[in-house]
Amino acid sequence: MQHDFILLDRSGSMETLWVEALGSVNAYVQKLAEDKVDTGITIAVFDNQSFDVIRDRIIPSTMLPVTKKDAMPRGGTPLSDSVGKIVDLADKGGYDKVAIIIMTDGQENASSELTVVQAKALLHRCRAKGWSITFLGANFDNAAQGASYGNARGHTAAVSPQNLRASGSMMASKRYAYAQEGATADATMSFSDDEKARLAKGT
């Protein structure tokens, strides 16, 4: 049994990138549907006012696109707290293969429940189960952020605004490979240096 969890930063600084960020999420799900990846989709948005699940265990082919009506940017970035919440949702599902995609445009600045070290430990436990964890920086060089949460370089990518939608489709293609029998997250859902350079062009 498989599932995909998308954790999207809705802090105020995402306002100028919001259309592109939603486009990336929708492109990811659309490509999963086209490739007939047998998985479910859960999408959560977060800021320092709330953590909201806006799509809950939806089949890709039936998911309505995410729009501004679902959420708008506001507030700060409690990234560590939100990592804890999305991992908790994933743990409760009893899934064999899980892809967790985390998109932010800045650093942690508002958590009150978990430290970065504690959130990193949670993600490390996920990786030990063979789950895929990807950090996408929306117009943000997130190499240091990804490393602080334990991500390998290949599973962290900075993406320019004009390439956010393309990053969604690219991730979904990698997810298709991960869905195949015997594929591992490390082997399939990793960005090459060339891919990272293309996604970051313009940041």
What pLDDT does residue 181 have? 77
Average pLDDT per consecutive 10 residues, the chain (203 residues; last block may be shorter) = 97 98 98 98 98 98 98 98 98 96 97 98 96 98 97 97 97 95 86 97 79
- What DSSP state is assigned to residue 13? G
Calculate ∠ Cα 31-7-116, nearest 5°. Answer: 140
Task: Tell me which amino acid residue 53 is.
Answer: V
Structure tokens at 109: 């600045």
What pLDDT does residue 187 have? 85
pTM over 0.85: yes
Domain ranges of the chain: 2-200
Per CATH, domain 2-200 is 3.40.50.410? yes
Strand order in the sheet with 40-46: 51-58, 40-46, 2-9, 97-104, 132-138, 156-159
